[in-house]
Amino acid sequence: MRAWIAFALALVACGDNAARAPDPHCADWHQWGGNAQHTGASCSVGQPLQKILANVEIDPLVPDEIADADGDLVVHYQAPLIDGDRVAMVKKGGTFTPCVADMDPTMRCRHPEDLYRFASQTWSEVGYQWQNGALVEQWSFLSDWKPPPRRETVFQPVIAGAHIAVPVAGGGVALLDPADGRLARAIQPFGTDANTYVIGVLTAFGDTVYYNAATFDHDDPYGRAIDAWLVEIDGDGHVHKVRYTDLVPGAPTKCYGSYDATMTPPPWPVIVDGAVQKPPLYDCGPLVPGFNSAPAVGPDGTVYVVAHAQGVDFYSYLVSINPGYFEVNWATSLRDRLLDGCDVSTECAIGAPKGVDPSTGMPPAGEVTDDSTSTPVVMPDGRVLYGSWSFYNNDRGHLFEFSRGGAVLATYDFGWDLTPAVTTIGGATRIVMKDNHYIYGAMGVDQGPYYLTMLDDALEEVWQYQSTETQSCVRQPDGSVSCTADHPHGFEWCINAPAIDANGTMYANSEDGNVYAIGADGQLRDHLLLDTALGASYTPVALDREGRVYALNAGHLYVVGGN
C-alpha cells in the first residue's frame, strides 16, 4: 500500500502548471472528487464547452421523482468513474414508490409505510467505453444494495486498484472487473445482516477501500441507526472496522438541542431576567457518520471522517485516524467555533448576546448533516477542509479549515452541501466552491445572490462569479431551445463537487441547466445548456484525460467538449 503514496503525492499537486504529474492516471477520475483526497483537481485541460458528445440516461424514474418532490429533483447521484477510455456510471431502475399521502405536511414520508419505499428501486453500475467518438455500453452489474430506511443515500462505487468496488446488500462490497463487469469477489464484513447498509461514498487509496456502514432497527419508524462503523478492506481482502462511538473518546451522552417552539415560541434565544436560558438536554444518541459523506485519505495514508451525535447534530466532529487498526490521532469538535449567529440572523430576540445561535442561545456549531454529501478534502500541505451546515445563517453553513494537528484555522460562511475543489495555481493554493445565498423575499421567493467563489488558503475571497441567467430554458428534440424569463435573481449553482483543470478553470453546473467553465481569473470562459432548467439536488462534475467534461442534468449524464 505504501507504494501508492508516491503516486498520491503527485496527484494532489497536479493542478500546478509548473509541475505536471507524469503519471497519466493523474488525469483519470477514479472516485468522488477524482482522488482519495477529494480535491477535484485534474491534470488535463478542459475542452471548450461547445457541443454535447454523449447523452446517457441514468435515471428513468425522474418524472415520478419530480412529481413527488413538488417539481424538484432531489436525488444525489454518483460521480462518474473514468479510467482512460472506460467510464462507469450508475443506472437506476425498478419502480418508484411515492410517499404516503397525508393531510399533515409535517408527516410527509414519515409513515411506517414509507420506511422502505426506496426498496422498490434498483441500482446498477454500468460500464461504457469510448469508441469512434461515441460512449458505448459494455456491461451492467445489478447490485442488490438498497438505501437505509427512509432516505435515499448516494450510491457511489469507486475504482480501487484493478477493480471497481460496488456497494452491495448487508454492508458489503462487490469487486468487479472493469473490462467486462464480471464479479471477481464479494466481501461481506457483516455477514448477511439485512439491516446493515453501506451508507455514503466509497473511497479508494490504491487498492484499499474505505467506507461507512450502519445498522438500523428494522421497525424504527424514523429509521435511526443503532450502530455505525468505518470499514477498511485492503487489497488482499482483509477487513478492519471500528465503531464510530470509539472514534471520539469522551463524547457527551447528554446534548443541548434547540428550543422547543411549543414550549417557548420565537423570537429566540429565550431570555429571562436578562439572562439567556439554555435549551433542553437530550440523549445524544450514538455517533454516526454523515450518511452521504465519504472518508478522505491523505497522501500519507491518514484517514479523515466526519461524525455527529445522531440525536443532536450540533455535536459534530472531524476525526483523523491512522489506517490499519484505526488508532485515533485527534477528534476536533465543530461546536463553539463560530461567532456570527445573531450577527447574520434577523430573527434574534431583543437583548440577545452578540453572535449566539438564536435557536440555542449558545455559540453556533458547525453541523454534519445526513442530507449533505459534504466530504473532507485534504489540501496539498495536509490541511483539511470540511463544509458544515447550519440553520441560523439562512440555511447555509461554514467551510472549516483544520491544521494537520486538528486545530481550527479559519472558517468561511458559505452555501452548504459541498466538497470544494483545491488546486495549486502559480505556486498558490486555491479553493473553488459554490456559494449560494438563500435569502427569501416577498411571497417566499428565493432572491440569492448565487456565486461561484475562489478562496485562498486562508479562506479569503480571490473572486466571485455571480449567476445572472434569468431564463428557464429547455432544449427541444430538434436541438432548438425555448426559454421563459422567470428567474430575475438568477439560479442556484447545483454543484456539490466541482472540478478544476490544469489551467485553474472551474467547472460547475447550475439549476439553469447549463454547465459553466470559469477561468482562473474569475471570468466566464464558456457555458452550454445540457437539457433543462430544473430545481435539483447538488451534483458532481468530472474531467477525463482528453479534457471532456462530465455533468448531470435531469437524470442524464452529459459529456461535453469541443474537439
The tens digit of pLDDT for each residue in 123-175 reads 999 999 999 999 999 999 999 999 999 999 999 999 999 999 999 999 999 99
- Find all residues with CB under 8 Å of 340, minimum gap 6, and list them: 355, 364, 393, 413
pLDDT digits (tens, 9 = 90+) for 479-502: 899 999 999 999 999 999 999 999
**Which of 502, 32, 385, 501 minimizes the C-alpha distance to 516?**
501
Name the nearest CA neighbour of 193 among 222, 217, 164, 165: 217
Query: What fold, for 77-246?
Result: Thrombin, subunit H (2.40.10)
* Cell matching residue 231: 470499514
Res. 15: pLDDT tops 50 = no
How many angstroms separate the CA atoms of 80 and 208, rounded? 19
For residue 24, is pLDDT > 80?
no
Yes or no: say if 139 and 127 are a contact pair by the CB < 8 Å rule.
yes
Q: Which pLDDT score, from 0 to 100, does residue 109 have? A: 81
Q: Would you place residue 190 in the very low, low, confident or very high pLDDT band (cuts 50, 70, 90)? A: very high
Which residues lie below 8 Å from residue 530, measured CB to CB, with a gap of 6+?
Answer: 52, 475, 509, 513, 514, 515, 551, 553, 554, 556, 558, 560
- Where along the chain do its domains lie? 1-47+419-563, 77-246
Beta bridge partners of 384: 378, 402
pLDDT tens string 254-269:
999 999 999 899 999 9
Per-residue CA distances from 238 to 197, 200, 207, 301, 486 (Å): 19, 21, 12, 17, 55
**What pLDDT score was predicted for residue 18?**
35
Which residues share a beta bridge with 397? Answer: 414
pLDDT of residue 9: 36
User: Does 389 score more than 60 pLDDT?
Assistant: yes
Cell, residue 123? 441500482
Residue 125 vs residue 343, higher pLDDT = 125
Q: Given this model, what pLDDT does residue 78 score? A: 98
The chain-wide mean pLDDT, for the chain, equals 92
Given this model, what pLDDT does residue 94 score? Answer: 98
Is the model's pLDDT at 92 over the cut of 90? yes
Q: If pLDDT is split at 50, 70 and 90, which confidence band does 545 have? A: very high
pLDDT at 440 over 80: no
- In angstroms, how far apart are the furthest CA atoms of the chain? 76
Residue 103 pLDDT greater than 80, yes or no? no
| Residues 101, 107: Cα–Cα separation, whole Å | 9
Give the separation between CA 276 and CA 268, rounded to whole angstroms.
9
Confidence bin at 415 (pLDDT 50/70/90): confident
Average pLDDT over every residue of 317-342: 93
pLDDT category at 1 given cuts 50, 70, 90 is: very low
Q: Alpha carbon 90 to chain centroid distance?
A: 16
Q: What is the pLDDT of residue 7?
A: 32
Q: What is the predicted pLDDT for the residue at 8?
A: 38
Question: Looking at residue 106, what is its pLDDT?
Answer: 67
Percent of residues in the chain assigned helix, strand, coil, to nearest 5: 10, 40, 50
Residue 20 is predicted with a pLDDT of: 36
Asked if the model's pLDDT at residue 251 lies above 80, the reply is: yes
**Cβ(531)–Cβ(475) below 8 Å:** yes
Where residue 445 falls among pLDDT bands split at 50, 70, 90? low
Question: How many other C-beta atoms can be found within 10 angstroms of the C-beta atom of residue 100?
Answer: 14
Residue 16 has pLDDT above 60, yes or no: no
Question: pLDDT of 273-324, one tens digit each?
Answer: 989 999 999 999 999 999 999 999 999 999 999 999 999 999 999 999 998 7
- Higher pLDDT pick, 361 / 563: 361
- Whether the predicted pLDDT of 67 surpasses 50: yes
